[in-house]
């Protein structure tokens, strides 16, 4: 019976803890008219969550750029058998990203029935569905609780349908009267959520399966103003508040340009694999190797048979 001795050697490349962010995509809304069609597309019609609005396309009453801001306006009006209109714009057809800093400066609408959001979905949603694609909500607000901002993620393992979604919420003084910055910093090992550059929540990669962490695939950005629905409409809709305007000052996407340095070689483990089931090939389906590395590390794994 053979005893094969295996050694793991990890080459750890330490990354700088302060990222060097480079702007790779933005819309500063320094123009007039409809949102830039080279950057934004529209959701159209009824989409989800028992919401009461009809999302329109290329209709300036609901989405326009003026005075240096994108304005998404929800209106009380009859339109295609719906009682409200609004807009939801996204980058699915124009830009998707994997990792980076995504930052939006916005002033929110308010009043019972409003449900503005800034969020991301996996670009593979058409192939794998929701929540398998992964969702990142880095600003949600419901008008009946106007001074609370919510931050959440949704995956196959962690989502609101199962009651397992992960996130937090904070109290914010009148976010409908002033602009605030909502952002995430997305890495291979975590997603950090920020409000005005203060970290509010971290969702960590558990390094289990895609069910917990689908965030190794590209995601696209969505900015929308829903009316009513399964959350926004829990206390009804106050028709006296309309029209309601949602102002976006800018959208900026950065990616990290810092480089790995200080390469260090470490022998992590050495152990035997006994029994004919592991000989001559120790890498059969019954063999599992588990190892951990510190946060902010790139690794290269090498495996040697020390028995020759």
Pairing state between β 190-195 and 180-186: antiparallel
Positive or negative, the CA dihedral 181, 186, 192, 198 is negative
Interatomic CA distance for residues 302 and 6, integer angstroms = 10
Which helix (H) or strand (E) covers residue 266, if one does? strand 261-274
- Calculate ∠ Cα 192-301-1, nearest 5°: 135
Candidates 43, 73, 103, 140; catalytic one: 140
Give the contacts of 208 (CB within 8 A, at least 6 positions apart): none
Residue 28 annotated among the catalytic residues of the structure: no
d(CA 70, CA 35): 7
- What is the DSSP annotation of 56-76? PSS-TTTEEEETTEEEEEEEE
127: which residues sit within 8 A by CB, 6+ positions away?
Answer: none
For strand 88-90 and strand 166-171, is the pairing parallel, antiparallel, or unpaired?
unpaired
Structure tokens given for 281 = 């090939």
Give buried/exposed letters for 16-52 (b at 16+ CB in 10 A, else e): eeebebeeebebebeeeebbeeebbbbbeeeeeeebb
Rounded Cα–Cα distance for residues 156 and 131 (Å): 5
Active site (annotated) includes residue 140: yes
What is the rounded distance in angstroms from the CA atom of residue 122 to the CA atom of residue 141?
A: 22
Q: Determine which one of 135, 156, 185, 219 is catalytic.
A: 135
Active site residues per annotation = 135, 140
């Amino acid at each position: 019976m053979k005893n094969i001795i295996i050694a793991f050697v990890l080459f750890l490349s330490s990354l700088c803890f302060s990222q060097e962010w480079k702007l790779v995509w933005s819309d500063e809304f320094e123009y007039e008219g409809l949102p830039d069609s080279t950057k934004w597309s529209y959701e159209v019609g009824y989409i989800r969550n028992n919401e009461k609005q009809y999302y329109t396309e290329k209709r300036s009453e609901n989405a326009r750029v003026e005075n240096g801001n994108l304005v998404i306006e929800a209106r009380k009006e009859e339109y295609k058998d719906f009682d409200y209109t609004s807009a939801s714009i996204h980058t699915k057809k124009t830009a998707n990203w994997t990792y980076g800093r995504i930052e939006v400066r916005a002033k929110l609408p308010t009043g019972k029935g409003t449900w503005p959001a800034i969020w991301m979905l996996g670009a593979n949603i058409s192939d794998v569905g929701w929540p398998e694609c992964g969702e990142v909500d880095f600003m949600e607000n419901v008008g009946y609780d106007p001074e609370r901002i919510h931050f959440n993620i949704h995956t196959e393992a962690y989502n609101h349908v199962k009651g397992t979604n992960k996130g937090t919420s904070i109290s914010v003084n009148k976010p409908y009267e002033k602009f605030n910055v909502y952002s995430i910093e997305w890495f291979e090992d975590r997603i950090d959520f920020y409000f005005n550059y203060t970290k509010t929540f971290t969702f960590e990669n558990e390094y289990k399966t895609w069910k917990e962490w689908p965030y190794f695939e590209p995601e696209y950005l969505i900015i929308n103003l829903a009316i009513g629905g399964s959350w926004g409409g829990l206390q009804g809709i106050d028709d006296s508040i309309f029209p309601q305007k949602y102002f976006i000052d800018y959208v900026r996407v950065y990616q990290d340009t810092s480089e790995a340095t200080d390469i260090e070689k470490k022998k992590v483990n050495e152990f035997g694999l006994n029994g004919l089931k592991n000989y001559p090939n120790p890498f059969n389906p019954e063999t599992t190797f588990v190892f951990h590395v510190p946060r902010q590390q790139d690794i290269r794994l090498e495996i040697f048979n020390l028995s020759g």
